[in-house]
Amino acid sequence: MSLTQRKVLFVLVAAAAGFISGLLVPLVFGVRGAILGGALAIGALFLHPRPGDGTRPPRNLAATLGLSLAVAAAAFAAICLWQLLVPHILRQTDFDVTGLPPAASALTTWSYAATLLLFYRERQAGRRRAWAWFAAAPLLGTALRAWGFHELAAVPYIFIQGALPFTALWLLAALLADPAWTRKRRSRYGLRSP
C-alpha cells in the first residue's frame, strides 16, 4: 500500500470510527461524528513528518491551534451543510434531539480539534503530556455540550454516549490506520521522526 493510499485509509477509518461513535442516532450523531473524525484525520496528516531525508520539527503551539481552528471550521461547515441538505433529520428520530446552539456547537467542534491535534502533536514528539490532551478531549467536549444545552444533568449521558466513544474510537482509528502512528510505519513509508 502506498503512502497516499494509507493516508486515504486513515481518513476513511477515522470517519467510520466517528460514525460508529454516534450510532445511537446515526443520521444526527453518526454523520456529525464521521465528519469530525475524518476532518481530524486530515488535520493530523498536516502534522506528519515529511517523507525523505528532511525532518519536520513538531509544529509549535500557535501553528497547531491555527490548524485546529481550520479543521474545526471545515468540520462545522460540513455539519451545517448536512443539516441544511437533510433538515428533517432532527424530527425523524426516536429521541428528542434538540439542536445545540450554533456557537456552542462550533466551540465544541473546536475543542475536539484542538485537544486531539495537540495530543497528536505531542505524541509525535514523544512527550508524555500528550495523554493529558487526550484525556481533556472528552471532558472538555462534554462540558461545552452540557453548557450549550444549559443542562448539567446531561453530563454523564454526553460523556458516556458520545464524547468518550468518539475520542476512544478516533484513537483506535489512528492506531490501526495512521501511517505515522508508530516508528515502524514511519520508517516503512520513509517518514522521518521529528
Phi and psi dihedrals of 86, rounded to 5? -130, 70
pLDDT of 79-118, one tens digit each? 888 888 876 655 444 444 456 778 888 999 999 999 999 9
Rounded Cα gap, residues 167 and 17, in angstroms = 9
Residue 54 has pLDDT above 60, yes or no: no
In the chain, what are the domain boundaries?
Answer: 3-188
pLDDT of 133-172, one tens digit each? 999 999 998 888 888 777 778 788 888 888 999 999 999 9
pTM: 0.87
Q: Where are the beta strands (DSSP E) in 125-189?
A: none
pLDDT of 25-49, one tens digit each? 777 788 999 999 999 999 999 988 7
